[in-house]
Amino acid sequence: MSIFRHPLTVVLATFMIASVSYAQVMVQNPWVRATVAQQTSTGAFMLLTAKSDSKLIGATSTVADQVEIHKMTMEDEVMKMRQIPELALAANQPVALKPGGYHIMLIGLKRQINVADSIPLTLSFEDKDGNRRQVDIQATVRTLQGGHSHKSH
Ligand SMILES: [Cu+2]
């Protein structure tokens, strides 16, 4: 039985969208980049702070067929991104997922992602003892000027 299904928890979570704090990892300001018609992928961004050494090991969303953890790097003066299996989160050190850096990639979008939508994401974390925890968040949708293209997939 999931504690996240408890009605009171849902109500509380609604008021804490901008800064959702769980026992292990704090998720702040999650947002997803808006898409245009026919666009099949987009990025999700947020600030993650783990209370103890942990890692982000995956994510899912009802709006995408596939969700991956990606890293952008500069190679030969060209921005490239690649999938990484996990993202390490050292205790109490905020890790920013942001355009041009780490991000969560939503691939195979089932619909257009419009500004002001709320996108559900389930993040999977693992602590150093191997305990796994899923965290449900709602990310707001925003536009971004001058972001990177994802056509290199
Ligand atoms: Cu990507």
* Helical ranges in 46-114 per DSSP H: none
At residue 79, the pLDDT reads 87
Average pLDDT in the 96-108 region?
96
What is the whole-number distance in angstroms between the Cα of residue 107 and the centre of ligand 1? 9
Give residue 99's pLDDT band: very low, low, confident or very high (50, 70, 90): very high
What is the whole-number distance in angstroms between the Cα of residue 35 and the centre of ligand 1? 14
Strand duo 25-33 + 132-142: pairing = parallel
What is the whole-number distance in angstroms between the Cα of residue 67 and the centre of ligand 1? 10
Collapsed DSSP state (helix, strand, coil) of residue 12: helix
Q: Look up the pTM and report it.
A: 0.79
At residue 115, the pLDDT reads 95
Q: Which domains does the chain have, with CATH numbers?
A: 3-142 (2.60.40.1890)
What is the whole-number distance in angstroms between the Cα of residue 81 and the centre of ligand 1? 6
What is the whole-number distance in angstroms between the Cα of residue 32 and the centre of ligand 1? 12
Distance CA 99, CA 144 (A): 9
DSSP 138-151: EEEEE--TT----T
pLDDT tens digits, residue range 23-80?
Answer: 589 999 999 999 999 999 999 999 999 999 999 999 999 999 999 999 998 888 888 9
pLDDT tens digits, residue range 65-86?
Answer: 999 999 998 888 888 999 999 9
What is the whole-number distance in angstroms between the Cα of residue 92 and the centre of ligand 1? 25
At residue 145, the pLDDT reads 60
At residue 24, the pLDDT reads 83
Average pLDDT, the chain: 85
User: DSSP 3-state helix, strand, coil percentages of the chain (rounded to 5)?
Assistant: 5, 55, 40
Backbone angles phi, psi at 7, to 5 degrees: -55, -40
First to last CA, the chain: 38
What is the whole-number distance in angstroms between the Cα of residue 59 and the centre of ligand 1? 13
What is the whole-number distance in angstroms between the Cα of residue 144 and the centre of ligand 1? 15
